[in-house]
Amino acid sequence: MSDVIDTLAGIAPGSPLDAIRNGRLQARTHAQASYDSLFKPRSEADATRHERLAIACFVAGLHGRPEMEAFYGTALAEAGAPAAWKGAIAAAVVVAKGQGPYGHYPKGPLNAEDKAGPIYKIAPAERGVLGPKLAAAFEHTHMLVFHPRDSAPPYLQALVDAGWSTTGIVVISQLVAFLSYQIRVVAGLRVLKARPA
C-alpha cells in the first residue's frame, strides 16, 4: 500500500524500492502513522491543524524542497487556513532560509567547533498575518531546523509566553523533528531511485 513517503519520493507499488521499504514494514507503517497522528490529531486543543500545516509549510520551505512545499502548501489551502498565510509563510521563508547545522557548545573544548549563525526574528508584517502564537512557533522552528544545539530554556519560555501549553510545545517539537526525518527520507529515496545500480 502506498503512503505519503512513497507519494513524495515517487515510489511505485511493486518497484524495487517498494519491496525494500516493505523489508522495514514496521518503520514504514509507523512513519505513516506518525504523519497521521500529527496532521489528523485526536485533539486540536494544544495545536490546531492549521497551525501544524503552517509550520510544515515553513519547514519545507526552509529545506528548499519543492516536493514538500507543494504537498504541505496544498494541504494548508485545502484545510481552509486563512488565505493570507500562504504569502506570509513564503515571505518568512525568504528571510529565514540558511544553512545548518550551526550553533554553540557548552563552555569547554568543543567551543573550537562553535559555528555562529543567525537567530531568526519574524518580521512585523508576517507576525501581523500569522498572529503572535504562530509567529513564536516559527522563530522556534527556525532554531530547530538550523541550529538545534543552541536550544536553551529561554526558547521554550518564549513559546510559553506566546500561549503554547507544555503539551503544545511537545507537539510542535515532534512536528518539526518528524518533518526533519520525513524530508530526509524522501530526499534520500529520490536520489537512490534516480540512480539505479
Partner 1 sequence: MTDKVLSTPPHVEPVVFTRDMLDWLPWLEPMAEAELTDRHMAGLVDAARAKSAYFRLLARDPEVLEHRTKTDKDIFYNPEAGLPRAERELAAAATSRFNGCIYCASVHARFAATYSKRVEDVDRLLDKGVGVDLDARWNAIVAASVALTSTPITFGPEHVDGLRKVGLDEASIVDVINAASFFNWANRLMLSLGEPAAPAKA
For residue 103, the cross-strand partners are 115
Considering the complex, state which of residue 129 and residue 145 has its C-beta at the smaller distance from partner 1.
145
Counting contacts by CB under 8 A, is residue 8 touching partner 1?
A: no
d(CA 13, CA 102) in angstroms, rounded, equals: 39
Counting contacts by CB under 8 A, is residue 131 touching partner 1?
A: no
Q: Do the Cβ atoms of 79 and 53 come closer than 8 Å?
A: yes
Candidates 50-58, 83-91, 103-111, 129-137: pick the segment binding partner 1 (CB under 8 A).
103-111
- Burial class from Cβ neighbours inside 10 Å (0-12, 13-18, 19+) for residue 77 reads middle
Q: Which of residues 156-195 bind partner 1 (CB under 8 A)?
A: 156-157, 160, 165-167, 169-171, 173-174, 176-178, 180-185, 187-189, 191-192, 194-195
Counting contacts by CB under 8 A, is residue 33 touching partner 1?
A: yes
Tell me which amino acid residue 132 is. Answer: P
Q: Which of residues 40-79 bind partner 1 (CB under 8 A)?
A: 41-42, 62-65
| Sign of the alpha-carbon dihedral angle for 123, 158, 31, 85 | negative
Considering the complex, state which of residue 110 and residue 119 has its C-beta at the smaller distance from partner 1.
110
